Amino acid sequence: MAGRSTLARLHAVIFCAVLLAGCASAPPAPPLPPERWLGQWTITSYTERGTPTYRFDGKTIQISQAGAVYQLTTPTGDFFFFPGMRFAPYGNSLVGQYVPSSDDLEERFSDFPDVVLNQAAASRTCIYRATLTMLPDGKIAVQHNNLQIFYSRDNRFHHCQEFGSWVQFTLSR
């Protein structure tokens, strides 16, 4: 009986230690001041799927603030940030996500049946995500995901698969 009691106490102590260790993680740093983010930035080292393409190198992105959130004005023509994406400050990063409309998906998946894209947009499970992280040297590292849409032979939307860090590049002044 005493063995079980000791074992039970030992498990309780281990459980509490694990629980407290999980709760002891530090909260994020306070957000950076807006002036660190705002203004015009130039794209460098643009890569897709880990392959440098330099496709948008030299183009500019404008970061502005609208209330508590940030937004980007991007180059026109085949660019991946959606105008509706907004970014919230989180420590030394700006984190954004966007649930695309069927029109947005049509631009990205022009050869897909409209009924599938309508179902995908209505499901609200296809989410584009991006993170802008301020680096110690004052540049911004950017990562953006990409999506793949799956559907059945009878044109029924099945699911979206997310590919993180699909697009990466650096912003500098």
CATH code of the domain containing 73: 2.40.128
Residue 56: predicted pLDDT: 87
Asked whether residue 149 is assigned to any structural domain, the reply reads yes
**Structural domain of 163:** 35-172
Note whether residue 1 is domain-resident.
no
Asked if residue 141 is part of any domain, the answer here is yes
* Residue 8, in any domain of the structure: no
Asked whether residue 22 is domain-assigned, the answer is: no
Please report whether residue 14 resides in a domain. no
pLDDT tens per residue across span 95-141: 999 999 999 899 889 999 999 999 999 999 999 999 999 999 999 99
What is the tally of structural domains in the chain? 1
Is 18 a member of any domain? no
pTM of the model: 0.77
Q: What is the pLDDT of residue 25?
A: 64
Long-range contacts of 112-121 (CB under 8 A, 24+ apart): 112/149, 112/151, 113/151, 113/155, 115/155, 116/149, 116/151, 116/155, 116/156, 116/157, 117/149, 119/151, 119/156, 119/157, 120/149, 120/151, 120/157, 120/160
State the pLDDT at residue 17: 39
CB contact at 8 A, 56 and 169 = yes
Q: Is residue 56 part of a domain?
A: yes
Residue 52 contacts residue 34 (beta carbons within 8 Å): no
